């Protein structure tokens, strides 16, 4: 889209929609792993460097492209973040594409998980890890120097209904500062959102660190502060 002269916002949105549409991706979009109640709840946000604008949605089910709903929140409301039923009503009003609240494949997996829940929970709790998770965080630097970013996820598999991770939280799963840079996060959201991870990456770049170093320094800092030590399972991308 960028090579074709499209806007950076379009490029970020369309790039993320590719992943949201992937039926083989268990961590982004409606093919994602459901929550503990058997429903896929999606989180997403988008940011435009120009104007320092942002939009986000959290815990949205039944819509294929949370990134596009987030963009619409940014572009048509005075708010930044809509969640749950309110976000779904907003999506309905704006005619966004609906989809199943869970795919048949994931539903079958959920039934199995439910049956084995006690054993799995004990195992996961012991390891201190979620059973499955991932995200797409996408940042773009345009030829004119403007920055854009987006982030989208189905979150932590089998999470407690209503749980929202770092991905739609501005400054945690994504941050864009048009004067400095953009950063996004994947991994266990609880280990990113307690530290405003993406904001921190951008702030390190503001201090002069190379993007790679800014990501590493952020992880070092979180690791230093984390009482659980180094098993953080977090990742950053920055430009
Ligand atoms: N950051 C996402 C969340 O916590 C999941 C992930 O990227 O693994 O919801």
Q: H/E/C letters for each residue in 92-137?
A: HHCCCCECCCCCHHHHHHHHHHHHCHHHHHHHHHHHCCCCCCCCEE
pLDDT at 130: 57
Lowest mean pLDDT among 16-20, 39-43, 109-113, 190-194: 109-113
Sole residue written with tokens 């864009």? 176
Nearest atom in ligand 1 to 134's CA: 8
| Predicted confidence (pLDDT) at residue 199 exceeds the cutoff of 80 | yes
Give the nearest ligand 1 atom to 188 CA.
4
Per-residue pLDDT band for 129 (boundaries 50, 70, 90) equals low
Closest CA to 167 of 72, 223, 235, 94: 235
Which residue's alpha carbon is nearest to atom 4 within ligand 1? 189
Q: Residue 34 pLDDT more than 60?
A: yes
Q: Would you state the pLDDT for residue 159?
A: 93
Spell out which residues line ligand 1, taking CB within 6 angstroms: 133-135, 153, 155-156, 165-167, 186-189
Tens of pLDDT, residues 215-235:
999 999 999 998 776 678 999
Please give the DSSP secondary-structure letter assigned to residue 148.
E
73 pLDDT band (50/70/90 cuts)?
Answer: very high
Lowest model confidence (mean pLDDT) among 68-72, 78-82, 108-112, 188-192: 108-112
End-to-end C-alpha distance for the chain, whole angstroms = 18
At 106, the pLDDT band (50, 70, 90 cuts) reads: confident
**Average pLDDT score, the chain:** 92
Q: What is the pTM of this model?
A: 0.90
- Rounded to an integer, the average pLDDT of 194-205 is 98
Q: How much distance in Å is there from the Cα of 16 to the middle of ligand 1?
A: 15
Which residue out of 135, 153, 186, 218 is catalytically annotated?
A: 135
Q: Which of 90, 98, 234 lies closest to 166, judged by CA?
A: 234
Nearest atom in ligand 1 to 233's CA:
8
The CA distance from 239 to 235, in Å, is 14
The count of other CB atoms within 10 Å of the CB of residue 84 is: 16
| pLDDT reported for residue 51 | 98
Tell me what pLDDT residue 74 has.
Answer: 98
Cα angle: 133, vertex 137, 142; to 5 degrees = 170
CA distance 119 to 74: 42
Q: What tokens does 26 get?
A: 């268990």
**Atom nearest to 193 CA in ligand 1:** 4
Q: What are phi and psi of 184, to 5 degrees?
A: -140, 160
Q: Does the annotation count 19 as an active-site position?
A: no
Å from CA of 104 to ligand 1 middle: 23
Q: How far is the CA of 3 from the centre of ligand 1 (A)?
A: 30
Give the span between the Cα atoms of 61 and 47, in whole angstroms.
22
Distance 51 CA to ligand 1 centre (A): 27
In testing the pocket of ligand 1, which one of 29, 58, 133 has its CB within 8 Å of the most ligand atoms? 133
């Amino acid at each position: 889209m960028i090579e074709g002269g499209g806007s950076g916002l379009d490029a970020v949105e369309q790039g993320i929609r590719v992943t949201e549409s992937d039926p083989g991706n268990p961590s982004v979009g409606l093919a994602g792993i459901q929550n503990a109640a058997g429903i896929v709840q999606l989180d997403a946000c988008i940011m435009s460097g120009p104007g320092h604008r942002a939009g986000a949605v959290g815990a949205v089910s039944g819509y294929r492209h949370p990134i596009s709903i987030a963009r619409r929140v940014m572009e048509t409301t005075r708010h930044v973040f809509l969640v749950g039923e309110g976000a779904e009503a907003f999506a309905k009003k704006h005619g966004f594409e609906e989809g199943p609240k869970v795919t048949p494949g994931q539903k079958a997996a959920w039934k199995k998980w439910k049956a084995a829940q006690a054993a799995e929970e004990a195992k996961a709790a012991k390891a201190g890890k979620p059973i499955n998770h991932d995200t797409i965080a996408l940042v773009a630097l345009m030829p004119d120097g403007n920055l854009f970013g987006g982030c989208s996820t189905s979150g932590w598999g089998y999470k407690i209904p209503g749980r929202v991770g770092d991905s739609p939280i501005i400054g945690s799963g994504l941050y864009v500062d048009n004067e400095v840079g953009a950063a996004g996060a994947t991994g266990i959201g609880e280990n990113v959102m307690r530290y405003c991870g993406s904001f921190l990456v951008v702030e390190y770049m503001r201090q002069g660190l190379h993007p790679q170093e800014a990501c590493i320094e952020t992880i070092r800092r979180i690791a230093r502060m984390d009482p659980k030590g180094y098993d953080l399972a977090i990742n950053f991308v920055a430009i």
